[in-house]
Chains A and B, each alone.
Chain A
Amino acid sequence: MIDPLTPMLLVVFSAVIYCWHLYKVRGHRDLRILIAVFMPIAIIIEFIGVYSGAYEYIWRNYLLNSIFVAFGWISNIYPNMHVAMMLIEGKNYYRKKTIPIRRNIMIGFLTGIFAVLYDLFLDPIAVHLGIWTWNVPTHWYGAPLGNFIGWWLIAFSSTSTYILLAYPNRKYRLELWIPIMVIIDIVFIVLMLGVFGQILTLMLAGP
């Protein structure tokens, strides 16, 4: 099993570097929005996941888990969002002032796909290294299929919310809209995970 400090340092370092990149290309306002949207969604969804007993992290400690997932989800989503935004909005997307809602949804959709592609490699390695352990039946090299649905949902909703608040047609009152959108995202992710989890269970159970 890997030393618990190694994955923690890896995600914290890479998340800080991504945050620095966002600060340089978009400024401190967008960086604050990204952190205020990504981190609470990651911490609450992962808390629900660990509390439900579906999986557990190497630290077996909610505070360390929260630090790991808060930085980890920035590391997971940011580069995939970057590629999706370049694909939909062009190479100079970071200079844009607004992004229409339809293109926002498309970016979120693609970010989710790219994040899942990343996780198809990351999850088996992480499970092998013992960074997290699944306590439910698994289908993909030690990871359950529901995990990938969760990855897509978190990447999609976090990205779309960030773009909605950071590239608006009008200025939002962020102190009001960030918590509202984060709560909507969490409810959306939990509901969709429940629905798709049931569908997957039925499909995998067979006739």
Chain B
Amino acid sequence: MNLSFEKDFPILIYISALVILMLLGILYDAWHLLHLIIFPLVVVMVFMLLRLGVIGRD
């Protein structure tokens, strides 16, 4: 699967935002909140299933 600007770019920025939030959480001593990342990861998982063609349509 090749990366596509039209399809994949917004999710790459979304994942970057999650990583930055995680790093800020670590930096400001919020370890106890980091397990909540499971919720936005559901969105990332839906996207990956879409891109792999498991769900959705062309």
**Which A residues fall within an 8 A CB radius of B?**
2, 6, 10, 14, 17-18, 21, 24-25, 75, 78-80, 82-83, 86-87, 90-92, 94, 114, 117-118, 120-122, 124-125, 128-129, 141
The interface residues of chain B, by DSSP majority, are classed as helix
Tell me which residues across on chain A come within 8 A of B39, comparing CB atoms: 117-118, 120-121
Tell me whether B13 and A79 are in contact (CB under 8 A).
Answer: yes
- A86 in complex: contacting residue of B7, B28, B36, B38, CB < 8 Å: B7
Closest residue of chain B to A142, judged by CB?
B33
Interface of A is mostly: helix
Mask of B2-21 contacts with A, CB within 8 angstroms, 1/0: 00011101110110111011
Which 10 A-B pairs have CB atoms at the shortest separation, nearest pair first? A79-B14, A120-B39, A82-B10, A121-B36, A79-B10, A128-B30, A117-B39, A118-B40, A124-B33, A114-B43
Residues of B within 8 A of A14 (CB): 13, 16-17
